[in-house]
């Protein structure tokens, strides 16, 4: 059965933080949901292929630039922090609050 530790690992992978109270609540909900979906372990699936979105091949096109109606101005407006037309973010290499 899912341990608290495994649950915390998943939170790291998902890049999600929860408060301690949220962790308790979510962990219980999570165990319920996992219990329910474990029903699929009982299904006989020998020789069954996984569903591939309607069996279509990936459609390709020529690697040529295309004009598309996309507002550069609005995109820049949406940036949380910027310098001229570039997105600005805090340091990447600075030590984080936890280990990954």
Partner 1 sequence: MNYKQLSITQLHNLYKENKIGVFEFVNDLYNYIEKVDKDISAFITLTKDLALKKAKQLDNLDRSNFSLLTGIPLSIKDNILIKGYKTTAASKMLENFKAPYNATVIEKLAKHNPLFIGKVNLDEFAMGSSTENSAFFKTKNPLDTQRVPGGSSGGSAASVSSGQVLASLGSDTGGSIRQPAAFCGVFGLKPTYGLVSRYGLIAFASSLDQIGPLAKNPYDIAILLDAISGFDKYDSTSLNYKPDKSYFESLKDYKESKDYKIGYIKEFFNHESLDSSMKEHYSSFLKDLSKEGFSLHEVSIDYLNYALSVYYIIASAEASSNLARYDGVRYGYRDKQKDNVVDMMFSSRANFGKEVKRRIILGTYVLSAGYFDAYYLRAQKLRNLIFSSFKDIFRDFDLLLAPTTPTVAFKFLQKQSPLQMYLSDIYTIPVNLAGIPALAMPINYKVQNLPLSIQIMGDSLTEDKILKLATYIYKLDI
Which residues of this protein are in contact with partner 1, per CB under 8 A?
10-11, 13-18, 22, 26, 29-30, 32-34, 36-37, 39-41, 43, 45, 48-51, 53-54, 56, 58-59, 61, 68-72, 74-75, 77-81, 87, 89-97, 100
Both tokens of residue 68?
């598309």
The least distance separating partner 1 from the CB of residue 100, rounded to whole angstroms, comes to 7
Query: Of how many residues is the chain composed?
Result: 100
**What is the C-alpha to C-alpha distance for residues 45 and 43, in angstroms, rounded to an integer?**
6
CB of 1 vs partner 1, minimal distance in Å: 13
Pair 13, 7: CB distance under 8 Å: no
**Tokens 């939170």 — which residue?**
11
> To the nearest whole angstrom, how small is the minimum distance from the Cβ of residue 87 to partner 1?
5
């Amino acid at each position: 059965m899912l341990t608290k530790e495994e649950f915390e690992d998943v939170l790291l992978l998902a890049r999600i933080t929860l408060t301690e109270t949220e962790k308790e609540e979510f962990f219980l909900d999570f165990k319920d949901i996992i219990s329910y979906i474990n029903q699929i372990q009982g299904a006989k699936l020998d020789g069954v292929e996984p569903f591939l979105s309607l069996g279509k091949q990936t459609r390709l096109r020529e690697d040529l630039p295309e004009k598309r109606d996309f507002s550069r101005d609005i995109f820049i407006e949406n940036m949380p922090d910027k310098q001229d037309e570039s997105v600005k973010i805090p340091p990447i290499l600075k030590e984080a609050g936890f280990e990954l």
